[in-house]
Amino acid sequence: RNLRVNEDLTEAIALAHDLGHTPFGHAGQDELNACLRELAPEAGGFEHNLQSLRVVDELEERYAAFNGLNLCFETREGVLKHCSRAHARRLGEIGVRFLDGTQPSLEAQLTNLADEIAYNNHDVDDGLRSGLITVPQLLHLDIFAAHHEQVLRHYPDADPKRLVSEVIRAMINTLVQDLTRTTADRIANLRPQSADEVRAGPPLAAFSEDMRAQADALKQFLLKNLYRHFQVMRMTRKARSIVRELFIAFQDDPRLLAGEYRRDDPVAQARAIADYIAGMTDRYAIREHRAIYRMD
Q: Provide the mean pLDDT of the chain.
A: 95
Tell me which of 3.40.30.10, 1.10.540.10, 1.10.3210.10, 3.40.50.11030 is the CATH number of domain 7-231.
1.10.3210.10
User: How confident is the model over 59-85, as pLDDT tens digits?
Assistant: 999 999 999 999 999 999 999 988 888
pLDDT in the model for residue 87? 86
Inter-residue contact 239 to 24 (CB < 8 Å)? yes
Question: Residue 226: its pLDDT value, please?
Answer: 96
Average the pLDDT over 257-269 and give the result.
96
- Report residue 119's pLDDT band, with 50, 70 and 90 as the boundaries: very high
Query: What is residue 200's predicted lDDT score, i.e. its pLDDT?
Result: 94
Is the distance from CB of 89 to CB of 109 less than 8 angstroms? Answer: no
**Would you list the domain boundaries of the chain?**
7-231
**pLDDT above 80 for 203:** yes
pLDDT value of position 294: 87
Query: pLDDT tens digit string along 14-31?
Result: 999 899 999 999 999 999
Residue 27 has a pLDDT of: 94
The model's pLDDT over 154-189, given as tens digits with 9 standing for 90+, comes to 999 999 999 999 999 999 999 999 999 999 999 999
Q: Is 90 helix (H, G, I), strand (E, B) or coil?
A: coil
pTM: predicted TM-score of the whole model, two decimal places: 0.91
pLDDT above 80 for 32: yes
pLDDT at 236: 95
End-to-end alpha-carbon separation of the chain, Å? 54
Q: How far apart are CA 198 and CA 254, in angstroms?
A: 47
Render pLDDT for 227-255 as a digit per residue (tens, 0 to 9): 999 999 999 999 999 999 999 999 999 99
pLDDT per residue as tens digits for the range 287-296: 999 999 988 7
Q: How large a percentage of the chain has pLDDT more than 90?
A: 94
Nearest to 150 by CA among 135, 136, 163: 163
